[in-house]
Amino acid sequence: MLSRTAENLFWLARYVERAEYLARTIDATLRVTALPAAYIGKTNEWDSALLTAGVGPAFYEHYKEANEASVVEYLSFSDENPSSIKNCIEAARLNSRSVRTALTSEMWDTINSAWIELQGVWSKGGTGNREELAKFLRFVQETSLRFDGSAYRTMLRNDAYWFSRLGVHLERADNTARILDVKYHVLLPEEEHVGGPLDYYQWTSILRSVSATTAYHWVYRETLKPWLIADLLILNDTLPRSLASCYSNLVRNLDQIGVAYGRQGASQRHARGIRNRLEHSHMDDIFQHGVHEFIQEFIADNSRLGEIITKQYLI
């Protein structure tokens, strides 16, 4: 297939995944900040929402203070923020238009109708109230689910599908890693706080933003424990948003491309290296060496994989 087509499919999937992640982040932050101050402590949750989206410094070029109004606007509707939900959806639509021939009509329809539907929201410059905002966030998440579902159910299992999956999992791994990194301090409990209401709601918020609240209880049958949350998000490959699961998918899809094209390359090797490291890690060691360091390293490795894939296939 054309390199440009593969590149568009890869980024299309990333934009949709990112839009969903942003919607989840906002949703989770709204819930935490709705709690009485005693439950959430002094940290500015809106600030950490910006950090998990990786847009902290850019935000402060446009706004003085991180609060609900400014952060929701910047992450959802802003034209200035290149990875706002609005810009993600716009970019996804533009990418879809340029690779229409590689998309199934169901996938195109999902993106195109979302784009048409959201024109109303964009033209008003945002949502008017909490209720509308909640509806909007739900809509974005549903769009992503529909897109994923239609890709899964209607695409031929060939390179177009695999490149699109690479985009999903690379982006998803980045998102999960970022949220862990920003919240890692709550995962490192000081003795007196363990089990206190403050941490409890923070942890719930982490799980909610990766849609794993129920999963946690099914997997561990335990009350929320920070090391188990970290274990779930980093090493448990039964959770679709965990780093381990993203990497088994990345390795599998890259392998399929390698087999179809009759040759392997740097991206297959690099992805396998990261997967092996995740497979052989234990939470104790990770905590010992520092969650922050571990995740920083992972984020750099993950973005390096993006560059290698681009060089090997997309240009």
Partner 1 sequence: MAVAFDEMNGLGEADLRPAYQELSRWLKEVPPDALEYRRQEAELLFRRIGITFAVYGDSEAQERLIPFDVIPRIMSAKEWTILEKGLKQRVLALNMFLKDIYHGRDILRANIIPEDLIFQNPVFRPEMNGQAVPHDVYVHIAGIDIIRTDPENFIVLEDNARTPSGVSYMLENREIMMRLFPDLFARHRVAPVERYPDELLSALRSVAPLSASAEPTVALMTPGVYNSAYYEHSFLADKLGIELVEGRDLVVKNDEVFMRTTEGLKRVDVIYRRVDDDFLDPLTFRPDSALGVPGLMSAYAAGNITLANAVGTGIADDKAIYSYMPDVVKFYLGEEPILKNVQTWRCREPQDLSYVLDNLGDLVVKEVHGSGGYGMLIGPAATKATIEAFRDKLKREPEGFIAQPTLALSTCPTCTEKGLAPRHVDLRPFVLTGSKSTTIVPGGLTRVALKEGSLVVNSSQGGGTKDTWILSE
Q: How far is the CB of 12 from partner 1 (least distance, A)?
A: 13
Q: How far is the CB of 13 from partner 1 (least distance, A)?
A: 15
CB neighbourhood size of 81 (10 A) = 22
Q: Are 171 and 18 in contact (CB under 8 A)?
A: yes
Q: How far is the CB of 91 from partner 1 (least distance, A)?
A: 12
Residue 87 backbone dihedrals phi, psi, to 5 degrees: -65, -30
Q: Which helix (H) or strand (E) holds 266?
A: helix 266-279
Cβ distance to partner 1 smaller for residue 30 or 111: 111
Cβ distance to partner 1 smaller for residue 152 or 261: 261
Cβ distance to partner 1 smaller for residue 36 or 262: 262
Q: Are 137 and 23 in contact (CB under 8 A)?
A: yes
The amino acid present at 164, given as its one-letter code, is S
The tokens of 68 are what? Answer: 């609900």
Cβ distance to partner 1 smaller for residue 45 or 159: 159
C-alpha 198, offset from chain centre = 25
Q: How far is the CB of 261 from partner 1 (least distance, A)?
A: 5
Among the listed residues 10, 3, 174, the one whose alpha carbon sits nearest the alpha carbon of residue 95: 10
**What is the binding site for partner 1 (CB under 8 A)?**
1-6, 94, 97-98, 100-101, 105, 108-109, 112-113, 116, 159, 163, 257, 261, 313-315
Cβ distance to partner 1 smaller for residue 77 or 313: 313
What span, in angstroms and rounded, lies between the C-alpha atoms of 176 and 181?
9
The tokens of 149 are what? Answer: 């579902």
Cβ distance to partner 1 smaller for residue 104 or 204: 104
Q: How far is the CB of 101 from partner 1 (least distance, A)?
A: 4
**191 DSSP 8-state letter:** G
Q: Are 209 and 179 in contact (CB under 8 A)?
A: yes
Q: How far is the CB of 102 from partner 1 (least distance, A)?
A: 9
Cβ distance to partner 1 smaller for residue 95 or 144: 95
Phi-psi map region of 74: left, alpha, beta (phi>0 left; psi -120 to 50 alpha): alpha
Q: How far is the CB of 174 from partner 1 (least distance, A)?
A: 22
Dihedral sign computed on CA atoms, order 202, 203, 209, 213: negative
